[in-house]
């Protein structure tokens, strides 16, 4: 799961993105258990069986949110501040593990960018790294890594460094398998 936010009021995040929720159907009880009644706005991409799912939550006292695009591996919302009419877009991603299927995500992101003007954040689980150093025991750049990096460059997204560790996902008894598959990308225009 990835939690991200844009903006704060009194130290509290007011937009969250949750990926690989594995949730489908009516989820209002789940939302209420996460943040009581504070999070009233939601955009949801339901899980497919026991995998995937994306949930974007926001505080309606601060943001007016609306779904602008629903892709196979992402959802995009437009958020407009109720205080100053400033708007931005947020795309939550849960990418397929299969490289061939994941290629459709890159096209979805290109389509999103062509329709969403202004600041844009793309975050979630991309199920691929950009560089061999972002996965344990990896020594070479794969085709999937190159495709992901090309997409980031084509969209002119900024990929900030990861602070507090080298990886975003770990597995194994001693966490001997690790990678940086979750990312928080952005562009100002």
What are 29-81's pLDDT values in tens digits?
Answer: 666 666 556 667 887 777 776 677 888 889 888 999 999 999 999 999 999 99
How far apart are the C-alpha atoms of 115 and 125, rounded to whole Å? 22
How far apart are the C-alpha atoms of 150 and 166, rounded to whole Å? 22
Which CATH code of 3.30.2000.20, 3.30.420.40, 3.40.50.970, 3.60.10.10 fits the domain covering 8-187? Answer: 3.60.10.10
pLDDT attached to residue 6: 44
Single out the residue of 77, 45, 46 nearest to residue 64, CA to CA. Answer: 77
141 CA to centre of own chain: 23
- Lay out the sheet containing 54-58: strands in order across: 15-19, 54-58, 41-45
pLDDT attached to residue 9: 41
pLDDT attached to residue 120: 96
- How many CA atoms are closer than 13 Å to the CA of 117, on its beta-carbon side? 1
- 82 Cβ partners below 8 Å, 6+ apart? 61, 62, 63, 64
The pTM of the full predicted model, rounded to 2 decimals, is 0.84
């Amino acid at each position: 799961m990835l939690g991200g936010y844009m903006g704060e009021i009194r130290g509290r995040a007011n937009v969250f993105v949750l990926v690989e929720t594995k949730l489908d159907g009516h989820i209002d009880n789940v939302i209420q258990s996460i943040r009581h009644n504070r999070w009233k706005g939601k955009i949801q991409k339901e899980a497919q069986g026991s995998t995937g799912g994306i949930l974007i939550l926001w505080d309606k006292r601060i943001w007016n949110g609306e779904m602008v695009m629903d892709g196979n591996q992402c959802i995009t919302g437009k958020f407009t501040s109720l205080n100053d009419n400033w708007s931005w877009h947020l795309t939550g991603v849960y990418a397929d593990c299969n490289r061939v299927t994941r290629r459709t995500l890159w096209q979805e992101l290109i389509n999103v960018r062509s329709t969403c003007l202004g600041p844009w954040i793309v975050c979630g689980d991309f199920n691929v790294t950009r560089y061999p150093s972002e996965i344990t025991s990896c020594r070479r750049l794969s085709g999937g890594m190159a495709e992901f990096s090309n997409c980031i460059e084509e969209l002119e997204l900024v990929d900030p460094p990861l602070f507090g560790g080298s990886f975003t996902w770990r597995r194994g008894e001693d966490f001997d398998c690790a990678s940086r598959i979750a990312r928080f990308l952005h562009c100002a225009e």
